[in-house]
Amino acid sequence: MHELRRRFAIEGSDDDVTPVDMDAGVRVFIGLPNREGRLLGDLLRSGDIGYELSFDPIAPIVVGVFPMRPVPRA
C-alpha cells in the first residue's frame, strides 16, 4: 500500500486502516485512509482487482493489489 500512497500522493497517517467486508463474511483491512480504502474495496468486491494478504504475520491485511481484467489497448 505504501507504493499506492507514494504514486498517488495519498496523504494520511501510517495508522490509517480501512476495513472492507468481502463476500461470505470475510473482512480484510486496507492500509489507506477511509475514502481511498472504500474506493479500493469497491474495486475488490467488483472483481476489477485482486489482492494479496500478509503472510508474515498471517493477517487479513492487504499488502498488494493487481489487475484482474486485461486493459484494452487502442
Neighbours of 40 (CB within 10 A): 20
The residue behind cell 489482492 is 51
Report pLDDT digits (tens) over 8-48: 888 888 788 999 998 888 899 999 999 999 999 999 999 89
Sheet holding 58-67, edge to edge: 18-21, 27-30, 58-67, 49-55
pTM of the model: 0.80
pLDDT for position 42:
94
Residue with cell 468486491: 45
Q: With contact defined as beta carbons under 8 Å apart, do 14 and 32 qualify?
A: no
Cell 490509517, residue located? 16
